[in-house]
Chains A and B, each alone.
Chain A
Amino acid sequence: MKPIVAENIVQNYPTKKTVVEALKGITFSVEKGEIFGIIGPDGAGKTSLFRILTTLLLAKSGKAWVDGFDVVTEYEEIRKHVGYMPGKFSLYQDLSVQENLEFFAAIFNTSIEENYDLVKDIYQQLEPFKTRRAGALSGGMKQKLALCCALIHKPTILFLDEPTTGVDAVSRKEFWEMLHRLKLQGITILVSTPYMDEASLCDRVALLQKGVILSINTPKGIISEFGKPLWSIKANEMYQLMNAIKADPLVESCYPFGQYHHVVFKTQENSKQRLENIAAAGNFKDVEIAQIEPNIEDCFMALMTD
């Protein structure tokens, strides 16, 4: 059986007035040794899904298996074999770096020495601070310690819920390099993130929005599903340019992307000419127009508005 299988998982949280539907029938599976990304904004249902798969929450309906074990009837087996790094820092703030790691090793009847090769790369960066209380560590260091603690019992599957949220671009890059080294050791990784650009670092991704999977594919596959030519345009007055483009009835969407706007037309003939005409009619200067390949965020927004 595949390391992670989810079939039609539904989760909801009743409130006084209404029922919040966190997951509306989630079905997917993860292959052995894969880095599988759950990509979606806050409120998409990422954490509910992770808590159900790590046996910390019972789904309202649906079935799931982790490492071949049923998440409801065989939860104890799953807990022995998976590593979980929750989105919220959940180590003991009053224990030192080393004490935290020893504690987690002891819970799983192992020792730091036994599985040191697995955490060595990461732990070496923490070693200068090993007597420091976990609560006094920086964000990037906390994240590394949490990863070490999730790895110390040599899990077959690693669940990482938003490990890079609020972390700067440099630390994010380092973290993903660590994940790729772990993948080489055969560990299956399910990781969630609100950063769309991180999708390209996964083998496959599921785009999750409001409890629904919009698409599951390789990052390249998601991009090839976009299906329409995408144009980028830039000029001297970007805000006015956006309004001018949106006023064209044949424009399907126009979104700002850094220094460019990304534009999709409803029809595909003469798109470049149309953009040039809009720019000329508005007297825009320094105009640059190019046809480009969509990125995951383009795809996500197109799927959101479908």
Chain B
Amino acid sequence: MAPIEKVITANNLTKRFGDFIAVDKINFDVNKGEIFGFLGANGAGKTTAMRMLCGLLMPTSGEATVAGFDVYKQTEQIKKNIGYMSQKFSLYEDLTITENIRFYAGIYGLNDAQIKEKTAILIKQLHLEGEEKTLVRALPLGWKQKLAFSIAIVHDPAIVFLDEPTGGVDPITRREFWGLIYEASARGITIFVTTHYMDEAEYCNRVSIMVDGRIDALDTPANLMKTFAADSMDEVFLQLARKAVRTGD
């Protein structure tokens, strides 16, 4: 059996802001193609940890690699090899669907022929035929989020970071969105996702739960439920998050 390829490694990764330890010596690995749920209460340190992994924030101490690149010295290579999508910022509302695809694909260095091919695949996959020239602003939220996800992986990154991608989306679209996640994962793209929906945590291969800057639990959802004698991830999360001392974002 070939050794499992690690797409993310973090060893004692730490970030301090003055006296405040936002991320406190976290250790974890994420395997290629894995759907990894990154959970935690508001203020637990998720965003800070994600920003370090995306090459946007310099750690204070510890080590980490993303797609094989060092988070201290190779931040530009990291940015080229990851995708990112959040509920808050995804697409340009004033551009059409194809213009958004063209824009992001261009930024990630795809050439014209590749962009043309990717555009055709994306439009077909999302059943957006006939809507190519529609402004993104006019799309329902669910379509927007599915399009944003597809565009975030237009350059076939090693890993895509999804920051609460399904917030506020209707329950059927939310499930269609997870269908896209499974497809991407089957293609070998690693998924790193945060969510406040605990049923979505159960769709992940493994889940970590941050409390006060530390990772207090990391396992498959089934094992976590066993360990915490809980029927759902919601209960696991509440048991852990209630121990939190600090509050904050």
Please state if B199 and A41 are interface contacts (CB–CB under 8 Å).
no
A-B contact pairs, 11 of them (CB 8 A): A17-B138, A41-B142, A138-B247, A139-B249, A165-B167, A168-B241, A169-B196, A170-B242, A194-B168, A257-B199, A258-B203
Chain A residues within an 8 Å CB radius of B248: 138, 141
Q: Is A168 a contact partner of B42 (Cβ separation < 8 A)?
A: yes
Q: Which of B24-32, B114-122, B148-156, B229-237 contacts A (4 or more CB under 8 A)?
A: B229-237
Contact B140 A43 (CB under 8 A): yes
Known: A166-B196, A169-B196, A257-B199. A41 touches B43 (CB 8 A): no
Taking a contact as CB atoms under 8 Å apart, the answer to whether B237 and A169 are in contact is yes
Identify which of A215-223, A272-280, A296-304 touches chain B: A296-304
Contact between B42 and A171, CB atoms less than 8 A apart: yes
- Do A258 and B233 touch (CB < 8 A)? yes
Q: Is the CB of B249 within 8 A of A170?
A: no
- Which of B7-15, B75-83, B99-107, B169-177 is the contact stretch? B169-177
A168 to B171 CA separation, bound complex (whole angstroms): 18
**Cβ-based interface call for A255 (8 A):** yes
The digit string for B213-249, where 1 denotes a CB below 8 A from any CB of A, is: 0000000011000000000111001100110100111
Within 8 A of B (CB), among A227-267: 239, 255-259
B63 close to A (CB within 8 Å): no
Q: In the docked arrangement, what's the CA distance between A239 and B35, Å?
A: 13
The reply to whether A297 and B41 form a contact with Cβ atoms under 8 Å apart is: no
- How many chain B residues touch the partner (CB < 8 A)? 40
A83 vs chain B, min Cβ distance (A): 24
Do A140 and B247 touch (CB < 8 A)? Answer: yes
Partner of B238, one of A15, A169, A255, A304: A169
Q: What is the CA–CA distance of A140 and B42 in the complex, to the nearest angstrom? A: 8
Return B226 CB to nearest CB of chain A, in Å. Answer: 12
> In the bound complex, what is the Cα–Cα distance between A44 and B233 (angstroms)?
28
Contact assessment for A169 and B168 in the assembled complex, using a CB-CB cutoff below 8 Å: no
Of the listed residues A171, A209, A259, the one surrounded by the most CB atoms of chain B closer than 10 A to its CB is A259
Task: Assess A305 versus B202: contact at CB under 8 Å? Given A139-B249, A170-B244, A171-B41.
Answer: no
A43-66 residues with Cβ-Cβ distance < 8 A to B are 43-44
A166, A255, A304, most chain B CB atoms within 10 A: A166
A141 to B171, CA, bound (A): 28
| Residues of chain A in range 127-184 having any CB-CB distance to chain B below 8 Å | 138-141, 165-171, 173
Distance, CA A167 to CA B167, complexed state (A)? 10
A304 contacts B249, C-beta separation under 8 Å: no
Can you name the residue of chain A whose Cβ is closest to the Cβ of B40?
Answer: A168
CB distance from B149 to the nearest CB of A (A): 16
> Which B residues are CB-close (under 8 A) to A41?
141-142, 168-171, 173
The reply to whether A42 and B232 form a contact with Cβ atoms under 8 Å apart is no
Residues of chain A within 8 A of B138, CB atoms compared: 15, 17
B128 at the interface (CB under 8 A from A): no
Contact of A138 among B175, B242, B249 (CB under 8 A): B249
Whether the Cβ atoms of B238 and A256 lie closer than 8 Å is: no
Q: In the complex, how many angstroms separate the beta carbon of B216 from the nearest chain A beta carbon?
A: 13
Q: Which of A43, A138, A195, A259 contacts B42 (CB 8 A)?
A: A138
Interface string of A7-50 (1 = CB under 8 A from B): 00000000101000000000000000000000011111000000
Name the B residues within 8 Å of A194 (CB-CB): 167-169
Of residues 192 through 215 on chain B, the ones whose CB sits less than 8 Å from some CB of chain A are 196-203
Which residues of B have CB within 8 Å of A258?
Answer: 198-203, 221, 232-233
For residue A15, which residues in chain B have a CB less than 8 angstroms away from its CB?
A: 138
A212 within 8 A of B: no
- Chain A residues near B173 (CB, 8 Å)? 41
**A196 near B: Cβ within 8 Å?**
yes
Supposing A42-B141, A258-B203 touch, asked if A304 and B172 sit within 8 A by C-beta, the answer is yes
Alpha-carbon gap, A42 to B140, bound state (A): 9
Beyond the given pairs A43-B140, A304-B171, 7 more chain A to chain B contacts, judged by CB atoms under 8 angstroms and listed by A's residue number, are A41-B141, A168-B196, A170-B237, A170-B238, A170-B242, A256-B175, A256-B178
CA distance A40 to B140 in the complex (A): 14
B108 adjacent to chain A (CB < 8 Å): no
Interface centre among B164, B173, B247 (most CB of A within 10 A): B247
Cβ contacts under 8 Å, A171 to chain B: 41-42
| A166, B164: Cβ atoms closer than 8 Å | yes
- Tell which of A40, A42, A297 has the most Cβ of chain B within 10 Å: A42
